[in-house]
Chains A and B, each alone.
Chain A
């Protein structure tokens, strides 16, 4: 029986090829045969996983929640990045916009990322609503770039920051990593932009599999994945490209806010 794991990933950037070629080589050398298939969008990747065309999918939170729901919670969660835990979204404002509270957002322009971006659109809006902001009274300035990529490219978040700097929006929603890394790199003028609000934490990407995944594949995958080390130059190159320092075991509680947000959207859609 062929025990080669077929893993699906979405090609949101040319570096995705380097990442998975590197991981494929490392897995094969560490005794876990693995190959990968690249998709152009998460919707098709989720369908392919559910149809059994691939064994494991490297999924965004949105894709992960869909897999959980479509399998009635029976899917296997295999692992996540350290950077996937305790993600936050930030509402950034122009310092000259005179916005000092969430209520001040009413009547103002709020730049948001792609409609399938968890950190730059879905959850910041969900939490703003929970905080009592009436989204019907906020003028959304959406950047629906790279749809299907679920915000992976980060393009729409950089679009949001640019819109703020250029005065095309008064406030904007971005993920915390983009925000602090842009600051740490010296790309943000702290005199012009500041944080108005930080959302509660939520979790990000996850390796998903169907419950029918063979134990050999499952154990091999987990063993090789968690043997990767930051101090190993070969592993480190891959971990840097994928944006993590170490792989972490899965956990589900970090997706509840997204599940709630999607349920609300469905309710609204049904009502509308």
Chain B
């Protein structure tokens, strides 16, 4: 067909010509025809040059099956036939332009019907609705998330390889028990930090997969922390540690929070934020090199989680001022749930005191007790500073920090 024939059938929806060689319809020709049709809008014209056997019979039937219009064939001189097909109105259309992946901005609100299709994909209509309910960009993500994800991937370490386990000596029985209690307490809290984000990944719309990917690194971090804390606890020669009901109530209340931002606020900003000071304490007073190293490495990971939690909460607050009272309410609600459960669990307080003392010698214990009291003050200061940084007033920050769980997380 020549150019003049095109002008006989003007089409605003575009026109494409392909050379099908001698391919039969069921022997490869469709692999050229189908992609070409997706580049046309409904009504667009596809010209097919073919020397394939049976194409004359099969193309028309295939067009009927796929709801394209078969417009006819023209036999050319050299055994080639020229077929003309008008694209029907079903099926997907994609722009012929190269995809500009860099310019793909995250949508302010994600469409539940795009499912797991990567952002920027042409999604065929008619797919099922997915049950993702975290679909608002400014409530789930933050500009820093990609950079934090890259940092997290680069900073992965191995519980087996990177801790000098063989440097652990045998300590006096009271200190052995304190180490086991502190490490078990850390593992118990980190278990909650593993489970809580998992609940939100399943609800996050894949358009914001960057957040899910960061949370996955966070979960990998927590898994490793659980691993090292339990290894260290089990390296002691001591009776079992105690899991107190205060800790259990506190962690249970984290599972009752269904709002992603409220959860990030309670877990990452307040809980993990407080844990940064706790881990610094564990490193500072560590009775051996292995314990100091695992606390140091865990703290670096936790600082990243706090950073993302802060970024998330700050971004959400910047886009929705009604969040301030909601976050305050979440803290008050949790405090009300935990009221009456007591202060810092006694087994934890005593273990942290002996841990800092490094001995059961009463003279050392006095120092340990001072260190513990100093830790509580440091934690309160840190929380207040982070709350101020998130945008709360000094008064609010003071009050919210006071209401924080005595379990630290």
- Which residue on A lies nearest to B127, using beta carbons? A233
Assess A184 versus B126: contact at CB under 8 Å? Given A179-B58, A190-B54, A198-B57. no
Per-position binary interface string of chain B over residues 57-86, scored 1 when its CB falls under 8 Å from any chain A CB and 0 otherwise:
110111011010000000000000000000
Kindly state whether residue B27 has any CB partner on chain A within 8 Å. yes
Assess A232 versus B25: contact at CB under 8 Å? Given A176-B61, A179-B61, A195-B57. no
With most chain A CB atoms within 10 A of its CB, the pick from B30, B53, B65, B127 is B65
Selected from B25, B113, B129, the residue in CB contact (under 8 A) with A180 is: B25
Interface residues on chain B, size class: 20 to 34
Measured CB to CB, the closest approach of chain B to A236, in angstroms, equals 4
Residues of B within 8 A of A71 (CB): none
Contact of A233 with B128 in the complex, beta carbons under 8 Å: yes
Selected from A180, A190, A237, the residue in CB contact (under 8 A) with B61 is: A180
**Cα–Cα, bound, A182→B26 (Å):** 8
Kindly state whether residue A253 has any CB partner on chain B within 8 Å. no
**Cα–Cα, bound, A185→B200 (Å):** 39
- Which residue on B lies nearest to A229, using beta carbons? B126
Binds B, one of A6-14, A39-47, A83-91, A101-109: A83-91
Contact of B25 with A183 in the complex, beta carbons under 8 Å: yes
Selected from A83, A186, A194, the residue in CB contact (under 8 A) with B65 is: A83
Kindly state whether residue B24 has any CB partner on chain A within 8 Å. yes
**Cα–Cα, bound, A90→B25 (Å):** 15
Kindly state whether residue B125 has any CB partner on chain A within 8 Å. yes
Kindly state whether residue B6 has any CB partner on chain A within 8 Å. no
Kindly state whether residue B90 has any CB partner on chain A within 8 Å. yes
Residues of A within 8 A of B127 (CB): 233
Residues of B within 8 A of A180 (CB): 25-26, 58, 61-62, 65
Contact of A188 with B128 in the complex, beta carbons under 8 Å: no
**Cα–Cα, bound, A194→B52 (Å):** 11
Residues of B within 8 A of A182 (CB): 26
Kindly state whether residue A115 has any CB partner on chain B within 8 Å. no
Contact of B64 with A184 in the complex, beta carbons under 8 Å: no
Contact of A232 with B67 in the complex, beta carbons under 8 Å: no
- Near A by CB (< 8 A), chain B positions 1-49 give 24-27, 30
Measured CB to CB, the closest approach of chain A to B257, in angstroms, equals 32
**Cα–Cα, bound, A88→B129 (Å):** 37
Contact of B126 with A190 in the complex, beta carbons under 8 Å: no
Contact of A190 with B128 in the complex, beta carbons under 8 Å: no
Contact of A177 with B90 in the complex, beta carbons under 8 Å: no
- Which residue on B lies nearest to A175, using beta carbons? B61
Contact of B54 with A195 in the complex, beta carbons under 8 Å: yes
Contact of B62 with A82 in the complex, beta carbons under 8 Å: no
Measured CB to CB, the closest approach of chain A to B60, in angstroms, equals 8
Contact of A236 with B126 in the complex, beta carbons under 8 Å: yes
Per-position binary interface string of chain A over residues 48-73, scored 1 when its CB falls under 8 Å from any chain B CB and 0 otherwise:
00000000000000000000000000
Assess A231 versus B125: contact at CB under 8 Å? Given A184-B26, A190-B24. yes
Assess A191 versus B61: contact at CB under 8 Å? Given A233-B126, A233-B128, A233-B129. no
Measured CB to CB, the closest approach of chain A to B128, in angstroms, equals 5
Residues of B within 8 A of A191 (CB): 27
Measured CB to CB, the closest approach of chain A to B87, in angstroms, equals 14
- Which residue on A lies nearest to B26, using beta carbons? A183
- Which residue on B lies nearest to A183, using beta carbons? B26
Measured CB to CB, the closest approach of chain B to A96, in angstroms, equals 14
- Which residue on A lies nearest to B67, using beta carbons? A245
Residues of B within 8 A of A83 (CB): 64-65
Measured CB to CB, the closest approach of chain B to A185, in angstroms, equals 9
Contact of B128 with A181 in the complex, beta carbons under 8 Å: no
**Cα–Cα, bound, A177→B30 (Å):** 15
**Cα–Cα, bound, A231→B62 (Å):** 22
Per-position binary interface string of chain A over residues 219-249, scored 1 when its CB falls under 8 Å from any chain B CB and 0 otherwise:
0000000000011110011000000010000
Contact of B65 with A181 in the complex, beta carbons under 8 Å: yes
Per-position binary interface string of chain B over residues 122-161, scored 1 when its CB falls under 8 Å from any chain A CB and 0 otherwise:
0001111100000000000000000000000000000000
Contact of B126 with A88 in the complex, beta carbons under 8 Å: no
**Cα–Cα, bound, A245→B113 (Å):** 19
**Cα–Cα, bound, A237→B128 (Å):** 9
Residues of B within 8 A of A179 (CB): 58, 61
Contact of A88 with B61 in the complex, beta carbons under 8 Å: yes
- Which residue on A lies nearest to B88, using beta carbons? A245
Measured CB to CB, the closest approach of chain A to B27, in angstroms, equals 4
Can you sample 29 A-B contacts with CB below 8 Å?
Answer: A82-B67, A83-B64, A83-B65, A88-B61, A90-B57, A176-B61, A176-B65, A180-B61, A181-B65, A182-B26, A183-B25, A183-B62, A184-B25, A184-B26, A184-B62, A190-B24, A190-B27, A191-B27, A194-B53, A198-B57, A198-B61, A230-B126, A231-B125, A231-B126, A232-B126, A233-B113, A233-B126, A233-B129, A245-B90
3 interchain residue pairs of minimum CB distance: A183-B26, A190-B24, A190-B27
17 A-B pairs besides A195-B54, A230-B125 with CB distance below 8 A are A86-B64, A176-B64, A177-B64, A179-B58, A180-B58, A182-B26, A183-B58, A184-B26, A190-B53, A194-B24, A198-B61, A231-B126, A232-B126, A233-B127, A233-B128, A233-B129, A237-B128
